[in-house]
Chain A
């Protein structure tokens, strides 16, 4: 079973750091060659591969690309390679950037050929110093390489590639916040519409993709869509990087076939529960945290299967908790994280998340009543969609998911249960 681990993105041959020569020697660059040969075929290949965004939302990648491609008249288009990664439990992008920056850059260049973007920005969290350093070195090598010039020629427009340090704030990872940041301001999410694909950085069409998404692109274009699809288990396509943490023996980053079961991830790859504790639940990470329980252990960890359990795959973060861990307390911590991260533009977001946290704390400390629980349900219905960005929805999602799966635990805390 372990032979399915790290087959593609994290294959040891690919973990050559910023060394471009080593990357090319190990089979890198072939995807880009294919793309240069037939740029107009790329989007179809991506569509056939079923690749979806790895930054949390799971939006089909080719669709986003089509929107940006459609902006034919624009002289200048941007690509933001989103490596901001700052939420609890997700720690894959920093590793990819540090160990395999070349496949991300190659993916970005392929994206340029597919969509016509010509300013490529590696948007990286400054707290990840090693990732920043590796990316910088890789960029310098690519700029000097003939392949880079070939891409520019093919585009027929000036091509730039640079590292941009984000603010390091969680909100900076949101797509329009990243745009604000790149424009030189505080990472405030912007109102949508207009959408980035039409009106992004400095008003120009802008594509935002997670760095893992771009890494997949490199291999898809190299090996073809069918090869990629077959990597997945059952209906699922390709591989996924899972960030496993919490009460497991071996926390860490695991690239596995998309659709690997939760049980395998935790008990096979993760080495099982820490100190013989009993498995209770998993918080899936990303902008929208949801919960999977022991009843969901056999769920295939792919977009649709997880969704059927009214949860989300998110970024592939899996935070495992054992029996004895209080769900209400954990949810409070998450909601606090969202409340603190809220940028403040939208009153219902900042105040609503604080209020959820206040009511949760009341219940968690044994001062809550049925009315408080009803209140949480009400907040869960009232707040979604009230912000410019999805942050407030994220706080509500984790709340609703916990109410959905662990209502009885909430009730057990109530004074008037």
Chain B
């Protein structure tokens, strides 16, 4: 990124500029993406050399962790205690919680282990809402088609069709658990309010204020905490999966941060629900994701042999905060643009139709900044998101956006007086582990649900489909995993797949001293070995 227009000049330009509609040339969309969208840059991708996706294109940093060596070795397993359960769920976000609740409804004993605390996850941060086809002028069929179209027709139809048909049921289940949704009036029988997401054929977004994920997560957390049959472990990240003599998934090695020791969990079935990759800061982007979103699930599954997909496709949300620095990456909800807020560069000019798909808007912002028309504010570069003019045009509108106002407050400004400085932020992993309709993967005994999976969104996710996905596939995986509880217990609990992996790494000439998964972002200075040794 080169420097842009200095803040003071840009601020003057902003005040004299206008948000008049401009005609945008749409024909250059593909070249715009090619030139400016991070996914399309040749220097950002590479080819995987080993594993189930050998030969496939993959984002560079992701390839590095996918082709990493294990964090642990045989010696570390000596003396580790073994805990037995029917179903082990890894990850305490929405997908993990839904799976846990459903698995116990199906009589399975569950251990849910999570790296941070229950509910410290991406789910709790979701603002916009959840897609479910409940509107009178909407059908699951339309939802199906909208999802496929948004994903450039790369999604797996059987997954999408099942998910859209689950939609109404998911909403019923959440209401029964005690989640509130916005309704058209105070009347308990009033229809659910529906909002239209960009690129869809009907209003379909259900939400609770602009903190739907918070409402969802606090209900799920409470339900899980109090549900007999679920044991919740916090501060216990999974560092490796375990395999039996057939290479099936047999459990996981869990690191107990508090007691600084490894524990082994033997389970009939394992559900990976570790969420996304934002905190890997791919291509040096800031992120909207929670602290634990370091792509651990992808690494663990890949090493055990699971197939992945769309490893070069990520969603950069156009409007992440750019200034102040300590809030960089925080999301300004798409709702602002949907309501009519425009984007302006350092010259005070509009440069894109703000309601284009996210990848196009993000690429346009990057173009403005790279070509020197961004705003440089104390080293942070971005463009204006013009909330003041929105408020002038539609007085009172900002009142509806509680999270947005709270964010502005943290940034130190009044959104009705000053625009946000924004820049695209790494938001979502479009691809992930290949799954079947019941969440099973190519490795027997291993199930996946949530953002860690691929195939539902193709190469681009429709707003609101993630919250639906985590519930729908969380359920499905929970049922299927519970179904394995009567299997004979695994006789052997090993990391033989790691040895096999190390052989492949060596043969491919890949380094053995590159360890993964990452567990925590680099800047948090964590190192597993040093932590076990008590040095940190």
Contacts and interface: CB of A to CB of B under 8 A. Distances in A.
Contacts of B534: 369, 415-416
Nearest to B536: A371
Interface residues of B, number: 1
Nearest to A369: B534
Interface in A360-417: 369, 415-416
A374 to B, nearest CB: 14
Nearest to B535: A416
A416 B534 CA distance: 8
Contacts of A369: 534
A369 B535 CA distance: 10
A369 B531 CA distance: 13
Interface in B492-536: 534
Nearest to A371: B536
- Sorting the interface of chain A by its residue count into under 10, 10 to 19, 20 to 34 or 35 or more gives under 10
A362 to B, nearest CB: 10
A402 to B, nearest CB: 25
B258 to A, nearest CB: 9
B382 to A, nearest CB: 37
A415 B534 CA distance: 9
A416 B533 CA distance: 11
Nearest to A415: B534
A369 B533 CA distance: 13
Contacts of A416: 534
A369 B258 CA distance: 12
Nearest to B258: A367
Contacts of A415: 534
B359 to A, nearest CB: 45
A405 to B, nearest CB: 28
B235 to A, nearest CB: 14
B506 to A, nearest CB: 36
A369 B534 CA distance: 9
A140 to B, nearest CB: 56
A415 B532 CA distance: 13
A370 to B, nearest CB: 11
Interface string A276-294: 0000000000000000000
Interface string B102-140: 000000000000000000000000000000000000000
Interface string A37-59: 00000000000000000000000
Interface string B47-68: 0000000000000000000000
Interface in B185-206: none
Interface string B277-305: 00000000000000000000000000000
B413 to A, nearest CB: 28
B437 to A, nearest CB: 47
A166 B12 CA distance: 67
B260 to A, nearest CB: 10
A368 to B, nearest CB: 12
A369 B260 CA distance: 13
A58 to B, nearest CB: 43
A373 to B, nearest CB: 15
A3 to B, nearest CB: 60
B530 to A, nearest CB: 13
A322 B534 CA distance: 34
B536 to A, nearest CB: 9
A323 to B, nearest CB: 30
Interface string B406-429: 000000000000000000000000
A416 B536 CA distance: 11
Interface in A327-377: 369
A415 B533 CA distance: 11
Interface string B339-371: 000000000000000000000000000000000
A383 B534 CA distance: 29
A252 B534 CA distance: 48
A285 to B, nearest CB: 35
Nearest to B259: A367
B429 to A, nearest CB: 35
A81 B534 CA distance: 55
A277 B534 CA distance: 38
A270 to B, nearest CB: 44
A101 B486 CA distance: 76
A241 to B, nearest CB: 47
A346 B534 CA distance: 36
A101 B534 CA distance: 60
A112 B534 CA distance: 65
B104 to A, nearest CB: 31
B459 to A, nearest CB: 46
B534 to A, nearest CB: 6
B317 to A, nearest CB: 35
B261 to A, nearest CB: 12
B110 to A, nearest CB: 28
A416 B530 CA distance: 14
Interface string B234-277: 00000000000000000000000000000000000000000000
Interface of B: 534
* Shortest beta-carbon contacts, A-B, top 3: A416-B534, A415-B534, A369-B534
Interface of A: 369, 415-416
3 contacts: A369-B534, A415-B534, A416-B534
